[in-house]
Structure 1
Amino acid sequence: MGQVQTYEDVIFSWFDHFHANPEVSWKEVETTKKIASILNEMKIPYKTFSDVTGLVAEIGQGEDVIAVRADIDALWQEVDGAMRANHSCGHDANISMVLGALLKLKDERLNKRIRFIFQPAEETGGGAIEMVKRGVIDDVTHLFGVHLRPIEELPYGKVTPAIHHGAALFLSGSIHGVDAHGARPHQGKNAIDIVVAIQQMLKSIYIDPFEVYSAKLTKVVADGGSINIIPGNATFSIDVRAQKNAILDVLQDRINEGLKQISNMYQTEIEWYWNDKTPGAEVSDEATKLAWDAVKEKLGEEYLAGPIQTPGSDDFHFYTVLKPNLKAAMLGIGADLAPGLHHPKMTFKKEAIIVGANALTATLLKAANK
């Protein structure tokens, strides 16, 4: 006779599967199929999409709808010398925590419907937008998310009812100068000189010191093909972050103006475009209090930690930007996660998945029966 699996065993088996089978953004085909098979086993109705990965499940009754989102994609990064998909952001744990909450809630008496959104492509910043386009939050009043936190933000055994992510924006650019012989620099337009000017421009942006922000070059490629050739052409990337969306907009304007001035000063064409804007958190006080009270009542006050701010970003906050009346909060789960999110060898205490599933279950139950 086989051994009966405990609740924890089931969740860990789900996590082990997702961890061993990562898929990058928009290619989460097998991940979507696996989630669907789990929902089939639980006899939970769900909806897939013909043109994108991901799926949406729902339980409960009534006109009012609350929702929870799990991101399902992995990163593409170098691990042990080889490029591959890798769940170094913990989305495998996020899926498992949300499925764990669904498993506990499916037989509960609920006064509202609870929608479970298994969203693709968080890492590329477009998944939430596509879910909104498909109407998955049109009738939703409250939205919750969940994510493991690095050890420096939250230790194992602690749960925060709200993560205040920062806003992020990325720039890709190119410089179109003129190559020159190393002995005759006056005959060319040195792309490296322009890159240095861009670096100095970024370091000369000053905003209120009480605001949290940064702007930095993250990639520069300039190569004339030989040591004695001064390169005229280069490509570059800039990573821009701020805790507030308004400050991010100021940084974008300053950088646009700075690049125009540098182009004029060096009489050299610079092209650039902005991509993958991720908004900062717009956290609902009501949703935060619901999560706070639920964790306190069901897990105990010793599990509670206050809301945290993080310089990282998450496309979860597109939901509130695109639907301003939505009351949303993302729970953070302490897991002794190290060295950090997106590190190729990121590790954490697996037991944190159970803590997260329990915290999420309590929060969704309280919100559904409010």
Structure 2
Amino acid sequence: MDVIRTRRDLHQHPEVGFTEFRTASRVVEGLQSLGYDVLFGADALDEASRNGVPSQKELDQAYKRAIDDGANPEIISKMQGGLTAVIGILEGHAPGPTIAFRFDMDALPVHESTENDHFPQKQGFRSKYEQTMHACAHDAHTAIGLSLAEKMAEGSFSGKLKLIFQPAEEGGRGAHSVVKKGVVDDVDKIYCLHLGLDVPLGEISGGSKDWLATTKMMIEFFGVPSHSGASPEKGKNALIGAATALLNIHSLPRHSTEQTRINVGRLEGGSAVNIIPHYAKMVAETRSTSAMVNAELENKIKSIVKHSAEMHELQYNLEVIGQAIPITCDQELITLIKEEAAQIDDFTSVQDYHKGGGSEDASLLIKRVQELGGKGTYMIIGTTIPAPHHHQKFDIDEQVLEPTVKLLERISKRELV
């Protein structure tokens, strides 16, 4: 399997969280052709535990587009409604441990650059879907996972290899449903990874730290419309209620011993200049280095929303649409990764830890494995990037792909002796 060709195909066809129908179809076909047992659709995640699922209209449009662009209709028929996780399982020739690797598949709602100095544009594999792009290397992660599957396909090992292709990492939405399905309950060790994150090409860290717990919330306010000139007193302004909440959310005090973050990333409402807005919607997030402090911030936002709605005589709805927790990496796995990376010439600098700084819902998978007595880590593999993650000119240096596959193969074969 040509990992670069696979990555470029996925880059051309980016799909946001829970709409990864074409991507997941490609993964299923690839794994099945290699002899893996493959779980997908409702067999790979718990439908009711998903966070932040797109609207039915968005799901339907993405489903049709996937079919038009070559997705296997028989496969994705089992993914309707956004059931886009895929689990590949390969049994070795003898009993042994179960190790897992996690690869995220989703893209972002970002309009990809059309400038000639942007490598995917120059080389002809820029996103075919406007306002959607792989701006966080998940196309590369998925391609790496499929290449690892090919390398291990002969099954000449003891134990079980489990490859988790996860939807909806962005916004912390997908891992929770995979955990609730019990996918990692039999896993002894789980390895998660990310390319980039301001780490230079040739450098790798076996673990990472300072990931932030986070809660993402979607909040709706419901009021009463009325003529803004003739009868404003008869209306109940949902947009004012949302604005009140926004200002108070951003006024929350920070914590003295933990890092915290607050953001309202979107606010919309109203329909015309002469109508009292009867509906408003906002999305907000909390983050902290402490899960406990993050929970306190979440509760304060819920209180602010409740009282903002009451102040303006509104109804409201608040839904948690994403979550993650801090990551604690196990030193045993970090040491193993460092030892194996040192055997690969492309990795010239091998470190214990790199600072995460954002949030990552692989934390939920790692935590579940650790709760059941297993171990986990989140490694960072450096690559040159011309622009920051989530930027319209984000890209990776494809030289990182083959060494990363080689590293994961070495880890697998060492663990599954």
The two structures have a TM-score, normalised by structure 2, of 0.73
- For the Cα contact (< 8 Å) 1:174–1:234, is it kept in 2? yes
Q: Does 1:32 align with 2:31?
A: no
- For the Cα contact (< 8 Å) 1:241–1:311, is it kept in 2? no
Deviation at residue 177 of structure 1 after TM alignment:
4.4
Q: Which residue of 1 aligns with 2:348?
A: 302
Q: Does 1:284 align with 2:317?
A: no
Given candidates 385, 393, 403, the residue that maps to 1:355 is 403
Q: Which residue of 2 aligns with 1:44?
A: 35
Distance 1:64 1:216, change over 3 A: same
Q: Which residue of 2 aligns with 1:22?
A: 14
Deviation at residue 240 of structure 1 after TM alignment:
2.0
The residue type equivalent to 2:95 in the other structure is G
- For the Cα contact (< 8 Å) 1:150–1:341, is it kept in 2? yes
Written as runs of structure 1 = structure 2, the 5 A alignment for 1:116-265 is: 116-123=163-170, 125-151=172-198, 154-164=199-209, 165-177=211-223, 179=226, 181=228, 190-223=237-270, 225-226=272-273, 231=277, 233-265=279-311
Q: Which residue of 2 aligns with 1:11?
A: 3
Deviation at residue 225 of structure 1 after TM alignment:
1.2
Deviation at residue 92 of structure 1 after TM alignment:
1.4
Deviation at residue 142 of structure 1 after TM alignment:
0.2
Distance 1:235 1:26, change over 3 A: closer
Q: Measure the CA separation in 1 of the matches of 2:252 and 2:204.
A: 36
Written as runs of structure 1 = structure 2, the 5 A alignment for 1:64-83 is: 64-79=97-112, 83=130
The residue type equivalent to 1:284 in the other structure is D
Q: How many residues align?
A: 357
Structure number with the higher strand fraction is 1
Deviation at residue 332 of structure 1 after TM alignment:
1.2
CA offset digits 1:165-188 (Å, max 9, x no partner)? 322222222334455646997776
Q: Which residue of 2 aligns with 1:6?
A: none
CA offset digits 1:76-97 (Å, max 9, x no partner)? 4444697454322212111222
The residue type equivalent to 2:400 in the other structure is A
The two structures have a TM-score, normalised by structure 1, of 0.82
Deviation at residue 160 of structure 1 after TM alignment:
1.5
Across the aligned residues of Structure 1 and Structure 2, the Cα RMSD in angstroms comes to: 3.2
Distance 1:135 1:198, change over 3 A: closer
Q: Measure the CA separation in 2 of the matches of 1:120 and 1:251.
A: 27
Deviation at residue 108 of structure 1 after TM alignment:
8.1
Q: Measure the CA separation in 2 of the matches of 1:14 and 1:107.
A: 21
* Residue range with higher mean Cα deviation, 74-83 or 160-169: 74-83
The DSSP-based 3-state class of the residue aligned with 2:188 is strand
Q: Measure the CA separation in 1 of the matches of 2:223 and 2:14.
A: 42
Q: Does 1:333 align with 2:403?
A: no
The DSSP-based 3-state class of the residue aligned with 2:355 is strand
Q: Does 1:367 align with 2:415?
A: yes
The residue type equivalent to 1:337 in the other structure is I
Q: Measure the CA separation in 2 of the matches of 1:285 and 1:241.
A: 25
The DSSP-based 3-state class of the residue aligned with 1:150 is coil
Distance 1:320 1:234, change over 3 A: same
